[in-house]
Structure 1
Amino acid sequence: MIYHLCKDVTAWKTWPADIREQARKIAFHHAARDLAVETKTRHLLTRLQESGIRPIVLKGSAIAYTHYRQHGARTRGDIDLLFPRGKLAAAFRILEAEGYEYIYRQGYLGQELGFKDASPGQKNLPLDIHWRSSSYVLLAHLLDYDEIIDSAVTIPELADLPCAMNQVHALLHACVHWAKHTASGDSIRILWMYDIYLLARELDDEEIQHFIHSATRKKICRICATAIASVKQVLSCETLDRLHDNLSKIHQHEPGARMLARRAASFAISDILSSGNGSVLRNSLQDILAPPSAYILRFYGKKNPLWLPWLYMHRLSSGLIEYARRRRPDR
């Protein structure tokens, strides 16, 4: 990213020659890798869409195409795909037919699985398969698949059908992603901040109002305002100022704001009771008590559905034990 942003600036020539050459080589390496990943990703998305499955490409893998001038400038370590609950089993079959194999799972109460390309000689990016847009209970239902797909946009280089969030949804998701990593105690990467800057900068007046309305309705104004304020410390544009000024004036009860505290737990019993939204309460309980059967079978490496009652009980009991252990004062 530094190479692509700086190489045409006059001051670039004053940098030490060895640093400029190293940056150039790294940028070319990523560009070549990006072309290979793009070919594989387009093939996979085409296979999925032809089978009636329309995944949403999340985060950096989508923003690289929608907002960066050079795709390879937005480095990423994996490809995040969001699927509807009812399509997970069919999606897993296609992934495995295309040479991907299951490699890891999230915690017992998690909502994602990891796959890698096991084809001989392939070094493609691993896949993170999601069935919720966030792994944090408080944030998981802010952007549901149906809402996203109804206004999704097309990435011609990757798929013929729409497969990415529109600008408003993408910025909301980027702010939530920032909050999730803040809660996890992670260092905030400059790439995530630059994503927010690019997404905000491209909003028109109507989209700005839509963003503010959506953040208010979804009760994440403080999350968005705090994420944008963090970006404003290092990058500036008029849209960021307008968004921050408007969001900061909105005062309402926002349960999700606890995610702004570092080391905030990803799940608390109070979360599912605090939203004041019946559908969020129902969906949160469904996620905890009855996640998709395809996810459970893959999670445990089983194929026979007769295992499901026992697997559900094991997941719930193990998840509650894990939750209780993390809530202990000495942790």
Structure 2
Amino acid sequence: MIAREMWEEQHRRVVSQALDALYAAGLHPLLTKGTALAYTLYPRPAARMRGDSDILIEENLKLQAFAALEEAGFSRPLYRRGVDFGRGDVVRASGRDGGWHDIDLHWRLDSSPVLARIFTHAELLARSQPVLALHAQARCPSAVDALLYSAVHRKKHIDRPTKIHLNGVAHPVIDSLTWLMDIHLLFGSLDRDEQERLVARAAERDISDILRAALADSDARLGTTVPDDIAGALASAKPGSVSRYIAAAPARAVLMNLVATQSLLTRVTGLSEIFFPPPEYMRARFSRGRADWLPVLYLRRILPGVAKHVFRKGKP
């Protein structure tokens, strides 16, 4: 635990450094997921295990954000676990302990338009709350928004198995008790009016079924007390568009994303970002020290993923 506390102190300094740079550049960053919850819900930030921090920024200011962070001493590692160019990229800086501390800088909540449209940066910012324990200007989503996002994030990673990274080590995602503890603590922090807003907002975003399942699992494993009328209001929720997307076969998921995208230009740009990352990333990630022809590198990246997903059946 001493090692975790030491890591936390160094990580807090790096996150504060990033926030200072972003605020100075005129952005309105929002801490999300683990670090936001660590400093607003948990008795000690180090108790909330995580390997990096997530910051959401305005999409139209991402170039300014990277310029400001690079000037502040952050670098952008190219060889990094499946960087998602559709919604964000990674920056890192060294702490006083000499170790690297990563920040996932996002300009969309998810690379999928179906999931990204659940919340925008602007609305999350309008309802945000301070994170004074970390930084005098830091803000994060409200407890209601954070709970809804936590429920969707958990469902996505459980239904579409992936890996999480802690201190540079990959771990397969099962049903992380950490995510349920987030949900348990978030729901416990809500007053009566916020509980009612939670149910109403879940219905607005077509994720009532996901919220119901998250609260039911949290109750079963952690004893989360959900009032009868709140549970009753969610009881009849049918799988919504988000659940159908998460359960969809790959081809159908692509179609749903295209339908959810507002313009043809955005569709083409989004697909190109995902399937054709920058050449410097491709060479660092796939060349294996050889001067390979760039089209070969793209094939080396795409073909294994196509083979894996074509034969993966969607859930009913």
**TM-score, normalised by the number of residues in structure 2:** 0.77
Q: How many residues align?
A: 287
Q: Secondary structure at the match of 1:125?
A: strand
Q: Which of 240, 264, 272 is matched with 2:257 structurally?
A: 272
Query: In the alignment, is the contact (CA less than 8 A) between 1:108 and 1:319 conserved in 2?
Result: no
- Tell me which residue corresponds to 1:254: 240
User: Does 2:57 align with 1:83?
Assistant: yes
Q: Please say which of residues 157-166 and 106-115 is displaced more in the overlay.
A: 106-115
Aligned pair in 2 of structure 1 residues 260, 112: CA closer, same or farther (>3 Å)? Answer: same
Query: In the alignment, is the contact (CA less than 8 A) between 2:219 and 2:225 conserved in 1?
Result: no
User: Does 2:244 align with 1:289?
Assistant: no
Deviation at 1:328, TM superposition (A): 2.2
Q: Please say which of residues 152-161 and 69-78 is displaced more in the overlay.
A: 152-161
Deviation at 1:129, TM superposition (A): 1.6
Separation in structure 1 between the aligned mates of residue 246 and residue 312 of structure 2, nearest angstrom: 21
Aligned pair in 2 of structure 1 residues 200, 120: CA closer, same or farther (>3 Å)? Answer: closer
Q: Percent identity?
A: 23
Alignment of 1:1-331 (within 5 A): 26=1, 28-103=2-77, 104=80, 106=82, 110-118=86-94, 122-185=98-161, 186-239=173-226, 243-251=230-238, 254-258=240-244, 261=247, 265=250, 268-272=253-257, 280-282=260-262, 287-291=266-270, 299-301=278-280, 325-329=307-311
Aligned pair in 2 of structure 1 residues 225, 265: CA closer, same or farther (>3 Å)? Answer: farther
Which residue identity does 2:257 align to in structure 1? I
Deviation at 1:273, TM superposition (A): 6.4
Deviation at 1:171, TM superposition (A): 0.3
Q: Secondary structure at the match of 1:126?
A: strand
Q: Please say which of residues 318-327 and 143-152 is displaced more in the overlay.
A: 318-327
Q: Secondary structure at the match of 1:268?
A: helix
Deviation at 1:287, TM superposition (A): 4.8
Deviation at 1:116, TM superposition (A): 2.2
Query: In the alignment, is the contact (CA less than 8 A) between 2:30 and 2:141 conserved in 1?
Result: yes
Separation in structure 2 between the aligned mates of residue 227 and residue 264 of structure 1, nearest angstrom: 23
Separation in structure 2 between the aligned mates of residue 160 and residue 259 of structure 1, nearest angstrom: 39
Deviation at 1:123, TM superposition (A): 1.7
Aligned pair in 2 of structure 1 residues 325, 293: CA closer, same or farther (>3 Å)? Answer: closer
Deviation at 1:179, TM superposition (A): 1.1
Deviation at 1:110, TM superposition (A): 3.5
Q: List runs of 5+ in structure 1 lacking aligned partners.
A: 1-25, 275-279, 303-315
Query: In the alignment, is the contact (CA less than 8 A) between 1:83 and 1:130 conserved in 2?
Result: yes
Q: Secondary structure at the match of 2:254?
A: coil
Query: In the alignment, is the contact (CA less than 8 A) between 2:131 and 2:139 conserved in 1?
Result: yes
Aligned pair in 2 of structure 1 residues 65, 166: CA closer, same or farther (>3 Å)? Answer: same
Question: Residue deviations 1:144-182, cap 9 Å, x none?
Answer: 111101111111133333520001100011001101111
Q: List runs of 5+ in structure 2 lacking aligned partners.
A: 162-172, 282-297
Separation in structure 1 between the aligned mates of residue 253 and residue 13 of structure 2, nearest angstrom: 41
Deviation at 1:52, TM superposition (A): 0.7
Aligned pair in 2 of structure 1 residues 116, 198: CA closer, same or farther (>3 Å)? Answer: same
Aligned pair in 2 of structure 1 residues 168, 120: CA closer, same or farther (>3 Å)? Answer: closer
Separation in structure 2 between the aligned mates of residue 213 and residue 319 of structure 1, nearest angstrom: 42
Deviation at 1:233, TM superposition (A): 1.6
Q: Please say which of residues 116-125 and 83-92 is displaced more in the overlay.
A: 116-125
Question: Residue deviations 1:269-324, cap 9 Å, x none?
Answer: 331366xxxxx5417x665423599999984449xxxxxxxxxxxxx999997875
**TM-score, normalised by the number of residues in structure 1:** 0.74
Q: Secondary structure at the match of 1:91?
A: helix
Aligned pair in 2 of structure 1 residues 329, 264: CA closer, same or farther (>3 Å)? Answer: closer
